[in-house]
């Protein structure tokens, strides 16, 4: 009996539930006896630490989930910490459970959700937890924009979910809290135009910045450029995706920029989203760079 309890606690970061102990064949009196002699330590009602009361964050997270019932899952900032999307040990511990279940546990914030299915939950490090996409959608209701963008980038870097998949998940989430903000953010950042759309929207910005009409699609230093001003030695490239640039794509971009620099050209990069949503910033940058290059050429 004792070996089985220790084996279970090892698998569960040092915690077990009363339900699990009873399933192993331990009686109520035996459980109470172990609580009295310090071999079990109460963390939450019906959830215990085995051997010693101290638990690491994963032990505390799992204890909170077990205390909230068999259909509960770690969520929000706590889930993000487990996935490695956020750092630290956020307080209180956040757990989601299906609507209709009532759980009040000290140090635990429980979210009752109308839509929480097995398709929304997985196990990571042995802990029931919301999937990375749902975790990020939940964070969209909690974090300021800069921290939310950092969390999205972290999830992408860790290979948990890329922005395109996240945008699809936010679309499926409909009116769920955080989903609309996530869609708005990603629609501005995971954004690409066709060549004709980009040209139609970018050229007026360059004209407002005082630049002459550029060449489009010209071969420059062995590469097909987006926009090129030969009289200024200026090349503009645009990136469709701000978040999701694979290492291969990044390496090719660096090689292209290095080729432009070796040819004595000034190269700038803008995202398609900047062209669409931040035109004043694009114009200001083009005007400043254009003025400098005109002075140099004079």
Q: Quick one: three-class SS letters along 175-201?
A: CCCCHHHHHHHHHHHECCCCHHHHHHH
**Bigger pLDDT: 277 or 1?**
277
pTM (predicted TM-score): 0.77
Is the N-terminal amide bond of 154 cis, ω within 30° of 0?
no
Q: Are the CB atoms for 128 and 64 separated by under 8 Å?
A: no
Cα four-point dihedral sign 240, 243, 246, 249 = positive
Alpha-carbon distance of 132 to 160, in angstroms, equals 6
First to last CA, the chain: 88
CATH code of the region 1-54: 1.10.10
Residues paired with residue 129 on neighbouring β-strands, in sequence order: 74, 122
- How much is the average pLDDT of 261-268? 96
pLDDT tens per residue across span 137-196:
999 999 999 899 999 989 998 999 988 899 999 999 888 889 999 999 898 877 777 888
Whole-angstrom Cα distance, residue 54 to residue 52?
Answer: 6
Percent of the chain with pLDDT over 90: 69
Average pLDDT, the chain: 91
pLDDT beyond 60 at 1: no
Q: Mean of the pLDDT values across residues 276-286?
A: 95
103 or 130: which carries more pLDDT confidence?
130
Indicate where the chain has its CATH 3.40.960.10 domain(s): 195-297
Higher pLDDT, 246 or 202: 202
Where does the pLDDT of residue 198 fall: very low under 50, low under 70, confident under 90, or very high at 90 and above? confident
How sure is the predictor about 244, in pLDDT bands with cuts at 50, 70 and 90? low
Cα–Cα distance between 260 and 220 in angstroms, integer? 8
Domain with CATH 1.10.10 in the chain: 1-54
Q: Which pLDDT value is given to residue 87?
A: 93
What phi, psi does 187 have (nearest 5°)? Answer: -65, -25
Task: Note the Cα 13 to chain centre separation in Å.
Answer: 25
CATH code of the domain occupying 195-297:
3.40.960.10
Specify the residue for token string 């400043």: 288
The whole-number pLDDT of residue 101 equals 65
């Amino acid at each position: 009996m004792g070996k089985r309890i220790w084996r279970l606690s090892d698998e569960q970061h040092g915690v077990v539930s009363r339900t699990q102990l009873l399933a192993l064949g331990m009686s109520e009196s035996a459980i109470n006896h172990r609580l009295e002699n310090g071999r079990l330590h109460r963390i939450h009602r019906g959830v215990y630490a085995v051997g010693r009361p101290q638990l690491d964050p994963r032990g505390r997270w799992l204890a909170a989930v077990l205390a909230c019932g068999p259909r509960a899952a770690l969520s929000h900032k706590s889930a993000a910490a487990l996935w490695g999307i956020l750092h630290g040990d956020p307080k209180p511990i956040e757990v989601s459970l299906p609507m209709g279940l009532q759980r009040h546990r000290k140090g635990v914030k429980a979210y009752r959700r109308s839509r929480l299915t097995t398709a929304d939950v997985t196990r990571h490090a042995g802990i029931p937890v919301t999937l990375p996409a749902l975790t990020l959608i939940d964070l969209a209701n909690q974090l300021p924009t800069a921290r939310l963008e950092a969390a999205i980038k972290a999830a992408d870097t860790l290979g948990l979910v890329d922005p395109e998949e996240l945008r699809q998940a936010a679309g499926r989430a409909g009116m769920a809290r955080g989903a609309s903000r996530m869609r708005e953010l990603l629609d501005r950042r995971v954004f690409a135009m066709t060549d004709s759309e980009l040209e139609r929207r970018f050229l007026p910005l360059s004209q407002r910045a005082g630049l002459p009409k550029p060449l489009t699609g010209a071969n420059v230093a062995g590469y097909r450029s987006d926009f090129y001003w030969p009289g200024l030695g200026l090349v503009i490239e645009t990136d469709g995706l701000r978040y999701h640039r694979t290492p291969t794509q990044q390496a090719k971009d660096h090689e292209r920029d290095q080729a432009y620099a070796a040819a004595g050209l000034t190269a700038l990069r803008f995202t398609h989203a900047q062209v669409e949503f931040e035109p004043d910033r694009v114009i200001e940058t083009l005007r400043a760079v254009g003025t400098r290059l005109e002075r140099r050429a004079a």
